C-alpha cells in the first residue's frame, strides 16, 4: 500500500511532517492488524537508484526481525523531489507480527532530498536512529553535518563503495579526516564500517593460527604476507589490522607490494593478488618457523595450516542483513576500527 505526495513545490520552510505522519499512520493501520506497530529504531538509507536492488535485498533480510521506521533517500531521478509512504508487516506466529514503516524520498535535480531539514522531522524521537550511507561519499559531509545531532551512528560499507568506484585508500583517508581528525574540533557521529565486521572471521582465524604458546613468538618473525583473492578495501583493512596490532611502520608501496618495518628494524613485504573467484587465501611466512596459511574452502569453512598441521575451521560469516542488524542493535563503534583507519591513513606515502 503506497500513498504518494508530490513534493515538487514544498520547500523546507513550508514542509509539514504532520501530513506525512497522518498518511503513514493510516497506511500502517491498514497493513498491521495485530502486528507490533512501535518501531525500535529509525534507519535512514542514502543511496542511488542504481543500487535499489541491493538495498531491497538488504531490507528483505531485515524484514520480520525488527520493527523499524525506514527513511530512504534515493537519488538519480530527473523529476522533482517526491515522497512515497508505505507499510508492510510480517505475520509471525509468536509475536503477532513485526512492521516496517517506509518513507522513500525520491531525490530530484532540485536536490531537496539531500537536505536533512526535509526528512529529519520524520525521525522518531526518543529512540535510536542510524544512517546507512550506501552511496558515493561526495555529499556525506554536508548531509551528516546537519543530521549528526539527530542520529546515533553512521554506517558505511567500504566493500560496496569500492564497487561504486571509490578508491579505497582515498575513502579510508576521508573517513580518518572527517570522522576522526575533525572530531577533535567538533562533534562527529560515531562511525562503523560493515567491511570491518565482514573481515572479522579472517581476523579471528589469523589469531587462532598463532594461539599456542610455542607459536606466538613467530609473530615477531614474520617476513612476508601474501593475500590472494581479496578486494582492495578488505586488503587494506586486514593489512592495517596486522600493522596496528604488531606495530609495523609503513615505508612504501610499489604496485601490489607494500613494505613495512618492525620495531626491530626487520623488513616485511605484504603482497596482494587480484580479486578472483578462486579461494581466498592468506600465507604468512616466518623466518624460523616457516609458513602459516588460511585457505577459504567455501563461504563458511577455512583450512588453517601451521607448521606440521592442517585443520578445518568454521568461519562464522554472516550476510549483509545480519551485519547491519548487528550494527543497529549495538550502535557501537569499535575503538580498534578507529585505530585501523588511522594506521591505513599512513599508507598514503607516494608509491615508488
Cβ atoms of residues 285 and 305 within 8 Å: no
| In contact, 291 and 285? CB cutoff 8 Å | yes
The pLDDT score that the predictor gives to residue 89 is: 84
Q: What is the pLDDT of residue 167?
A: 94
Query: Is a pLDDT exceeding 50 seen at residue 1?
Result: no
Would strands 249-254 and 222-228 be described as parallel, antiparallel, or unpaired? unpaired
- Determine the angle formed by the axes of helices 200-209 and 232-245, rounding to 10 degrees: 40
pLDDT at 253: 92
Residue 168 clears pLDDT 50, i.e. is over it:
yes
CB-CB contact of 258 with 265 (8 Å): no
Whether 231 shows a pLDDT value over 90: the answer reads yes
Which residue from 243, 269, 241, 237 is spatially nearest to 255, judged by alpha carbons? 269
- Confidence check: pLDDT of 78 > 70: yes
pLDDT for 159 equals 93
Summarize the confidence of residues 25-38 as an average pLDDT.
Answer: 68
Question: Which is higher by pLDDT, 39 or 234?
Answer: 234
Q: What percent of the chain has pLDDT over 70?
A: 89
- Reply yes or no on whether the pLDDT at 311 is more than 50: yes
Query: pTM of the entire structure?
Result: 0.89
Quick check: 323 and 307 in contact, CB under 8 A?
no
Return mean pLDDT, the chain: 86
Provide the b/e sequence for 176-204 (b: ≥16 CB within 10 Å).
bebbbeeeeeeebbbbbbbbbbbbebbbe
* Tens digit of each residue's pLDDT (9 = 90 or more) over 79-135: 888 888 888 887 764 455 688 889 999 999 999 999 999 999 999 998 999 999 999
DSSP readout, 114-151? Answer: G-HHHHGGGSPTTS-EEEEEES-GGGHHHHHHHHTTT-
Per residue in 151-162, pLDDT (tens digit) is 999 999 999 999
Which tens digits make up the pLDDT trace of 263-292? 999 999 999 986 666 678 999 999 999 999
pLDDT band at 349 (very low <50, low <70, confident <90, very high): low
Lowest-confidence range among 25-29, 258-262, 294-298? Answer: 25-29
Amino acid at each position: 500500500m503506497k500513498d504518494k505526495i508530490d513534493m515538487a513545490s514544498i520547500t523546507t520552510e513550508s514542509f509539514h511532517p504532520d501530513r506525512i505522519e497522518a498518511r503513514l499512520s493510516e497506511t500502517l493501520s491498514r497493513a498491521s492488524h495485530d502486528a507490533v506497530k512501535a518501531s525500535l529504531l529509525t534507519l535512514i538509507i542514502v543511496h542511488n537508484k542504481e543500487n535499489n536492488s541491493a538495498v531491497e535485498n538488504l531490507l528483505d533480510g531485515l524484514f520480520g526481525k525488527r520493527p523499524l521506521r525506514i527513511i530512504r533517500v534515493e537519488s538519480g531521478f530527473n523529476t522533482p523531489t517526491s515522497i512515497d509512504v508505505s507499510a508492510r508487516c510480517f505475520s509471525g506466529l509468536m509475536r503477532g507480527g513485526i512492521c516496517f514503516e517506509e518513507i522513500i524520498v525520491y531525490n530530484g535535480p532540485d536536490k531537496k532530498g539531500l537536505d536533512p531539514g526535509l526528512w529529519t522531522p520524520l525521525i522518531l524521537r526518543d529512540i535510536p536512529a542510524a544512517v546507512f550511507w550506501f552511496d558515493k561519499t561526495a555529499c556525506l559531509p554536508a548531509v551528516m553535518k546537519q543530521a549528526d545531532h539527530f542520529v546515533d551512528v553512521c554506517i558505511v560499507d567500504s566493500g560496496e563503495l569500492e564497487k561504486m568506484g571509490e578508491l579505497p585508500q582515498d575513502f579510508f583517508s576521508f573517513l580518518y579526516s572527517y570522522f576522526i581528525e575533525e572530531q577533535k574540533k567538533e562533534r562527529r557521529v560515531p562511525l562503523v564500517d560493515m567491511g570491518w565486521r565482514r573481515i572479522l572471521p579472517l581476523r579471528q582465524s589469523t589469531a587462532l593460527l598463532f594461539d599456542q604458546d610455542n607459536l606466538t613468538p613467530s609473530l615477531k618473525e614474520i617476513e612476508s604476507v601474501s593475500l590472494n583473492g581479496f578486494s582492495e578495501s578488505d586488503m587494506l583493512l586486514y593489512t592495517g589490522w596486522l600493522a596496528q596490532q604488531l606495530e609495523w611502520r609503513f615505508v612504501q608501496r610499489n604496485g601490489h607490494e607494500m613494505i613495512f618495518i618492525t620495531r626491530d628494524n626487520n623488513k616485511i613485504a605484504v603482497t596482494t593478488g587480484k580479486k578472483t573467484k578462486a579461494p581466498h587465501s592468506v600465507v604468512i611466512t616466518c623466518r624460523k618457523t616457516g609458513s602459516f596459511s588460511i585457505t577459504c574452502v567455501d563461504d563458511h569453512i577455512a583450512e588453517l595450516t601451521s607448521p606440521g598441521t592442517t585443520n578445518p575451521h568454521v568461519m562464522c560469516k554472516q550476510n549483509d542483513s545480519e551485519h547491519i542488524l548487528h550494527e543497529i542493535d549495538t550502535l557501537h563503534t569499535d575503538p580498534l576500527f578507529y585505530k585501523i583507519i588511522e594506521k591505513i591513513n599512513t599508507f598514503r606515502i607516494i608509491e615508488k
